[in-house]
Structure 1
Amino acid sequence: MQIPQNNNIAEPIRKIETNSIEELAQFHRQKNRQYTQLRAGTLAGKLNEVNLDSVHLMREKINVGARIVAAPGDAFLPFGTILSDDDDYRFCAEDGRNNAIIQATGGNWDISFQHSLDYIAVVYEREAFMRQFDDLCQRSCPDQWIASQVKSTDPQALKTFNHGVSRILQYTVDHADALQCHQARKALAADLFSLTLKVLAPTADLQETLKSPSRRLQGVHRVIDYLREHAAELPTIPELCAIAGLSERSLEYGFKEYLNITPVRYLKLVRLNGARCDLMVGFGANLLVSDVALRWGFLEFGRFARDYRMLFEELPSTTLQTQY
């Protein structure tokens, strides 16, 4: 089996290490950034950027005090967090604070810092983010998320966000070839969207009214029917919510009422079953277990093997080596 690839994707990974302010600005040319060094010292800048189609992921480090001014296009929604130990920064004239998410979503923005800067950012295509939020929550995106500001959030949610985004960045370093696979990029982007919503949720009122049991059951059946034909497309939870016509919360209630499992768990089981079908017909076909895992959106091969064995009581390699 050939891993599905998209040869037209822009560079999936870009990186730069430099002591030149101008080179940093040129690296961000499409983001309209300007850098000004404010404190004495030999500048060392380092930046990694990962392209996952409708979302970009980046981490940037600068070792001396500086100011960054940006005028990104209206088509983008960047959310970021500061990983530096201190909070001696100012963002859009606001003092920095601990346990905060930075929203660079309101057009022009600037940040200045006294000593050093180490941040991660998740940059969404605006339309894609709005559509996913509408699908997942069955409501419009909160207005306060579309404004450049510093917002306090739940410390645990922030810790989970920072850890999750850093883990995804490290995965792209260790498995750069996997980014040529559309399914891998889609799975990573879905993880980023989930992490982003969880860190943003404490900053807005997202309370909702559950749909009626009959509406929930109808939505669950629509999802199950859809997955019979389209599971290999790896639909995300927001996409399944759109198909069900339910918010994530109502869809979860519906699945627990009908199957006593969450939609996330059901989707994983469907993907594991799909992977098993591919492995069962792959005997003698020069197929790799890793090819099948990526095709079905399993990016961590060790975890895939463990989950597969727990469900089917044999390793995926055993299935592949058996003639059925």
Structure 2
Amino acid sequence: MGKHLSVHTGELDGFEGLHDAVKGSHVEVMQLERGKLRGTLSHVGIGDFSLSIGAFNVGVRTQRISTDPKLIIGMLLNATDRVTHWAFDMQPADVLVIPPSVEHDGVFHKASSYAAIRFDMADLPDLFGGEPRLADAEAWQAKNHFRADPAIGMSAADRLPQIIAHLAQYPDALSEASAEFWKRAIIDCVTATVVTSLPPDGTSYLPSAMKLVRDVEDYLHAAGARPVHVSEICTELRLSRRSLHRAFHEVFGVGPVTFLRYKRLCMIRSILRESRPEQTTVSKVAIEQGFIELGRFSQYYRAMFGEYPSQTLGYAG
């Protein structure tokens, strides 16, 4: 397999380490509290896309000059005191949009942690094709703040560090297709609050649920064994999340995310049954198919098939 993913994690030993708080974008930092700044900084790179996660123990002022041509979308993961960006008061799981070539000014009054994704504006149609309003670069030209969605915000904030920790264990195990899946999963975590904040688009046309589902299944069949993220389906078939959700609930009684999880579980079972323990491991197959929390994956698998994945692999041959 090629090297499609890079993961770097290091310890912070002073505020200077936060100059690289966002991979590829220089940040000016001034410490606001007495004491030795300690923390961690991690970067995930998938092609030109990057995710950065940092945590530090004292207050800092951050400023970014207007030379970065890429879009940055940030999320406050945790904070022990007030955090402001421009005039926005941030709460944990809130999302911040920093347009290209716009100066940024933030204040973390005490210990905090954050996540930030950075990518090219030209990638918007591929990432948000199912939501034309977000696929348009004009939608991202103004600095903006989105209050965390209570149903998904903290879940996403908890999930992002888990993704980095687990991907760091298998940086060479991912195919190009699997790396693309995890790129979409990361973007989905950070931007879900933005997507759910969109008002109804006012369109009344909706293809019949069965036809829409069949179109999705045809697309999945053509994709073969690679994992497919729900955002890819929305982009390729030009469907909004709302339309997809309604159709799958009408046909199957479950949402598209659950349906895709079932499909990936079935694919993993087929792979395990055709493999030997000396050829692969359950964890490698699971992460290749889009499962990051191996304990939860094992529970899903056993609930679906009545046995643990290690048992399936052990029965092979």
Short-chain TM bin: 0.7 to 0.9
- For 1:193 and 1:306, the matched residues in 2 are separated by 26
Q: 1:116 to 1:6 in 2, by over 3 A?
A: farther
Structure 2 residue 8 is the aligned partner of structure 1 residue 32: no
Please, which of 183, 193, 196 is the counterpart of residue 189 of structure 1?
Answer: 183
Structure 2 residue 93 is the aligned partner of structure 1 residue 125: no
The residue identity in structure 1 corresponding to 2:63 is I
- For 2:14 and 2:142, the matched residues in 1 are separated by 32
Structure 2 residue 192 is the aligned partner of structure 1 residue 198: yes
Q: TM-score, normalised by structure 2?
A: 0.81
The residue identity in structure 1 corresponding to 2:104 is D
- Verify the 8 A CA contact 1:17 1:47 in the aligned structure 2: yes
Structure 2 residue 64 is the aligned partner of structure 1 residue 69: yes
Structure 2 residue 258 is the aligned partner of structure 1 residue 262: no
Structure 2 residue 80 is the aligned partner of structure 1 residue 91: no
**1:294 matched to which residue of 2?**
287
Structure with greater Cα Rg: 1
Q: TM-score, normalised by structure 1?
A: 0.79
- Verify the 8 A CA contact 2:227 2:289 in the aligned structure 1: yes
SS of equivalent residue, structure 1 residue 13: strand
Q: 1:128 to 1:118 in 2, by over 3 A?
A: farther
Q: 1:210 to 1:36 in 2, by over 3 A?
A: same
The residue identity in structure 1 corresponding to 2:68 is G
The alignment's C-alpha RMSD in Å is 3.2
Q: How does 1:1-324 map to 2 (within 5 A)?
A: 5-7=1-3, 9=5, 11-19=6-14, 21=16, 23-25=17-19, 30-37=24-31, 39=32, 41-53=34-46, 54-61=49-56, 63-71=58-66, 73-81=68-76, 83-87=78-82, 89-92=83-86, 94=87, 96-98=89-91, 100-113=94-107, 115-127=109-121, 130-141=124-135, 143=138, 145-169=140-164, 171-172=165-166, 176-182=168-174, 185-201=179-195, 203-214=197-208, 216-283=209-276, 286-323=279-316
Per-residue CA deviation, residues 184-213 of structure 1 (Å, 9 max, x unaligned), is 644443333333233224654354535334
Higher helix proportion, which one?
1
- For 2:33 and 2:9, the matched residues in 1 are separated by 28
Per-residue CA deviation, residues 52-103 of structure 1 (Å, 9 max, x unaligned), is 413413124251443433435222322222622222x4423x1535464322
Per-residue CA deviation, residues 3-45 of structure 1 (Å, 9 max, x unaligned), is xx43264x41242412253x543676831322234x4624415
Unaligned segments of structure 2, at least 5 residues: none
Q: 1:70 to 1:288 in 2, by over 3 A?
A: same
The residue identity in structure 2 corresponding to 1:19 is G
SS of equivalent residue, structure 2 residue 257: helix
The residue identity in structure 1 corresponding to 2:300 is D
- Verify the 8 A CA contact 2:301 2:307 in the aligned structure 1: yes
- For 1:284 and 1:110, the matched residues in 2 are separated by 51
The residue identity in structure 2 corresponding to 1:312 is F
- For 1:98 and 1:138, the matched residues in 2 are separated by 28
Deviation, 1:48, is 1.4
SS of equivalent residue, structure 1 residue 253: helix
The count of aligned residue pairs is: 311
- Verify the 8 A CA contact 1:77 1:126 in the aligned structure 2: no
Per-residue CA deviation, residues 121-153 of structure 1 (Å, 9 max, x unaligned), is 231313476235532324444755442244444
- For 1:270 and 1:277, the matched residues in 2 are separated by 11
Structure 1 window deviating more from structure 2 (291-300 vs 198-207): it is 198-207
Q: 1:14 to 1:129 in 2, by over 3 A?
A: farther
Deviation, 1:237, is 0.8
Paired-residue identity, %:
18
